[in-house]
Amino acid sequence: MTEIRHSTVGTRRPTGTLERHGPVGAQSDKEPRVADGQEAEALLREARASVDPELRSAMGSLPDSMRRIALYHFGWQHADGTPAEGNAGKAIRPALVLASAAALGGSGARPAAVRAAAAVELVHNFTLLHDDVMDRDTTRRHRPTAWTVFGDADAILAGDALQALALRLLAADPHPASASAATRLADCVVELCAGQHADTAMERRRPDEVTLEETLAMAEAKTGALLGCACALGGLYAGASDEDVEALDAFGRQAGLAFQLIDDVIGIWGDPGRTGKPAGADLAARKKSLPVVAALTSGTPAAAELAELYGVPYEGDEAELERTALVVERAGGRDWAQAQAADRMARAMQELARAVPDPAAAGGLLSLAEFVTRRST
């Protein structure tokens, strides 16, 4: 339930810029090389061009009130209903659907999976609309969030409508895999909701009551599940075996966890100019992100200091925010998150090799996985 934000991750310089560490997930000589993310960028552009007409058509069927909010959220309208040329997001999940279909079914399987790709993108945006309300996030994609413009109730209802559109797209799809895809996507939505519920419940607990294991499980449900589902749907539309579909799901989940780990690092140390969100917003909200929980459970003196800081609400002191970020780093939270992200990417590559042993056929999926975890511009 996390938006992919591209940024640079590394050690903080005095100027506030970020120096990038090495890429997440080393490539072996047998794996296809990705030149500066160009292949991934091309796949994302193609995915956006393929799914946008489906998305616009689906949203065109909504009542006027819901359509206006949905189109605003996607960046295609201003708040007053006039057309806009906004940012609808990276389209990584639709790209994973289409790349998975092509990897297992050849290029001819890709066009048939467009509706499934659009359905996954609708579900993703349903979660974003709801997350923004629950987290009280005021900006997304460098513009005010829907709830700040239209109110909580309207943003929630628009999200509900997007989820319904997603399932309707699959239900109306004549492709033989559509029924299995709809079931899998619905199961994924339940898992997403369970992950979000676990996340909100964690935020109400004391810092010393949250374990790293349950935080990782929550992150897999919130972020890894939909990336895994996207890959699995592509496999279904390619007519892949159950074993290969499950391997694709596992690949997406592990890549999603790697992404979430890096995203949590960016949530603390990222550049707002790149992320579109305020610096240190996660720390200010006392969010128990993965680096924070790793730091809290490290058993170090800095862990005790962090627990004390997290035990009281943030009151707007920027110096305290800087201190909190430093304490998380001293307790090993940042290093752990980056090492864990590399490990999860290695696991993702193993799962991908199970489903698609031919490196050339797996190239598109590998490029996309590298793109969302490398996090450089």
Assigned domain for 70 exists: yes
User: Shortest CA distance to 47 belongs to which of 358, 365, 259?
Assistant: 365
Greater model confidence, 72 or 15: 72
- Whether the Cβ atoms of residue 154 and residue 69 lie closer than 8 Å to each other: yes
pLDDT surpasses 80 at 2 = no
CA distance 121 to 97: 10
- Which pTM was predicted? 0.87
Q: What's the pLDDT tens digit per position in 46-66?
A: 999 999 999 999 999 999 999
Assigned domain for 322 exists: no
Q: What is the pLDDT of residue 210?
A: 92
Assigned domain for 241 exists: yes
pLDDT surpasses 80 at 16 = no
Q: What is the pLDDT of residue 87?
A: 85
Q: How confident is the model at residue 250 (pLDDT cuts 50, 70, 90)?
A: very high
Give the largest CA-CA distance in the chain. 60
- Whether the Cβ atoms of residue 331 and residue 300 lie closer than 8 Å to each other: yes
Q: What is the pLDDT of residue 163?
A: 98
Assigned domain for 309 exists: no
The stretch 354-369 carries a mean pLDDT of 95
Assigned domain for 16 exists: no
The stretch 6-30 carries a mean pLDDT of 35
pLDDT surpasses 60 at 184 = yes
Assigned domain for 218 exists: yes
CA distance 302 to 333: 10
Q: What is the pLDDT of residue 377?
A: 27
Assigned domain for 239 exists: yes
- Whether the Cβ atoms of residue 279 and residue 272 lie closer than 8 Å to each other: yes
Rg from Cα positions in the chain = 20
Percentage of residues in the chain having pLDDT higher than 90: 76
Name the range with the highest mean pLDDT among 1-5, 26-30, 125-129: 125-129
Q: What's the pLDDT tens digit per position in 331-340?
A: 999 999 999 9
- Whether the Cβ atoms of residue 341 and residue 373 lie closer than 8 Å to each other: yes
Structure tokens at 284: 């200010």
Q: What's the pLDDT tens digit per position in 226-246?
A: 999 999 999 999 999 999 999
Q: How confident is the model at residue 373 (pLDDT cuts 50, 70, 90)?
A: confident
Which residues, 6+ apart, have CB-to-CB distance to 227 below 8 Å?
92, 93, 96, 252, 253, 255, 256, 259
Q: What is the pLDDT of residue 69?
A: 98
pLDDT surpasses 90 at 182 = yes
164: domain CATH number is 1.10.600.10
pLDDT surpasses 60 at 140 = yes
Q: What's the pLDDT tens digit per position in 193-214?
A: 999 999 999 988 988 899 999 9
Output phi, psi for 139, to 5 deg. Answer: -135, 145
Q: What is the pLDDT of residue 181?
A: 98
The stretch 163-181 carries a mean pLDDT of 97
Q: What's the pLDDT tens digit per position in 77-135?
A: 999 999 998 888 899 999 999 999 999 999 899 999 999 999 999 999 999 999 999 98
Question: What's the mean pLDDT when you consider all of the chain?
Answer: 89
Domain count, the chain: 1
Q: How confident is the model at residue 142 (pLDDT cuts 50, 70, 90)?
A: confident
CA distance 229 to 246: 9
pLDDT surpasses 80 at 178 = yes
Q: What is the pLDDT of residue 193?
A: 96
Q: What's the pLDDT tens digit per position in 297-313?
A: 999 999 999 999 999 99
Assigned domain for 255 exists: yes
Helix axes 38-60, 114-135, angle to 10 degrees: 80
The parent domain of residue 119 ranges over 25-266+356-374
pLDDT surpasses 60 at 277 = yes
